Amino acid sequence: MQISQIQEETFKAFMAEYKGHCHYLHDPLYYDYISKTQETHLLGLYEDDALVGVSMLSATSVLKRYRLFTSHTGPLIQPFSNERLQFFLKEIDDHVKKHHAVKLIHSPYMIYQMRDNDGEIVESPKNNHEIIDIYINQGYSHNGFTKQLVTDELLRHQAVLDLNKDEEQLIKDMDSKTRYNTRASEQMGLKLRYLDEDEYDKFIQIYKDTEERIGFDPVSGEKIKNLLHALKERTYLTLSYINLDEYLEQLNGELGELTAEYEEMQKKIDSGNGTKRMKGRVNEVKDLLGNKEKRIKKIQNVKEEYGTVIELSAAMYYYNNHEMVYLFSGSYPEHSMFMGTNFTTWQMIKKAKELGAERFNFFGLTGDFTEQSKDYGVFKFKKGYNTFIEELPGTFEKVFNKPAYKLAQKLNRI
């Protein structure tokens, strides 16, 4: 095996065929974005003249002469093996040392171990505990098995839905509440549209309002907007909404059908031709009529207060050859009765299947699966889709020039 610097075209050709784990930070679109503002290096791992791995590095200047490097959740290797990873890491280290690295940070987008839907560790051929030792033996320090957001690091746990099933089975596999909410949102006639570039601020406002209300760790609006611009060709920015005139028309139609059924049965019962089963059904329909009338009244009140078209939720999704990732979302709590988030999630799961993705990645979880965790509600929502959980190894750092690094820290340049 050997490595060499590669051209942008070679990197992008590899990524076009790559089907393994790939974070958006290693996407060619992100390379196009970051290479305009930072020093970037593209390395290729070759075996018998075949390109089997790539590494995208970016560097920021420290004390003018030195560089702080990050590997953007890489390297990426296909097919993956620990032997290839170990060799690649050593060669990456040699490369950055030649370019005056003061420090290199890796947050590999690789599986450390698998967990079930409840967060319990399970035996799996995907488990790879050796990854930790590979980095440590190469001289890296491990930032630990974190269970909270650490600024500038990836969350170590992500809930993933296997899409290698038909839609009927995916619905069947949901828990009862998620399945009910999904079906109910479709029956209400919710709609979904994609937001244009001139509506990015609308999305960011919805997300930031939700972030503050729920207590999410803050993500700057500028960062989100930069991501939207950088990944535009591989993102969907969604807005769910409902037209209350159309929904009221639907409800009134259903009310008319129930009324006709009730009157017909009651007529037969009054004439002595009603069956025992019919007598039971007429009481059931009577209750349904009452509920339908209450629903119509409630929707009329919502329309009077908020207008005809009600915006419900917004979300950002990124996709590549391997998966669709649910990155950010926000919603209006006053309209939770319409279940816009459930509707959007199901529509985008179907979109991911349409694109040929094998996974729908609900993305970050802290890894604290107890009811006391601050993201327990988020965990329960993701769990409802019958996801499994991938635990990533975390972040590793290696200092190559300790005197320069300590000086930079003292001067607050890191």
pLDDT tens sequence across 349-388: 999 999 999 999 999 899 999 999 888 999 999 999 999 9
| Count of helices and strands (H, E) across the chain | 13, 16
* pLDDT for 152: 63
What pLDDT score was predicted for residue 150?
60
Q: Which of 35, 98, 18, 102 is nearest to 72 (CA)?
A: 35
Q: Report which DSSP code applies to 9.
A: H
Same domain, 209 and 325: yes
Is the pLDDT reported for residue 392 higher than 80? Answer: yes
Residue 413's pLDDT band, with cuts at 50, 70 and 90, is: confident
The domain of 74 spans 2-144+394-410
Residues 236 and 284 in one domain: no
Q: Quick one: 266 and 383 in the same domain?
A: no
At residue 173, the pLDDT reads 98
Q: Report the CATH number that the domain containing residue 301 is assigned in CATH.
A: 1.20.58
Looking at the structure, tell me whether residues 48 and 167 fall in a common domain: no
Instruction: Report how far apart, in Å, the C-alpha atoms of 159 and of each of 361, 390, 391 are.
Output: 6, 7, 9
Backbone angles phi, psi at 279, to 5 degrees: -65, -35
Q: Is 153 helix (H, G, I), strand (E, B) or coil?
A: coil
Q: Give the model's confidence band at 149: pLDDT under 50 very low, under 70 low, under 90 confident, else very high.
A: low
Pairwise CA distance, residues 347 & 212, whole Å: 26
Q: Is the domain of 258 the same as that of 344?
A: no
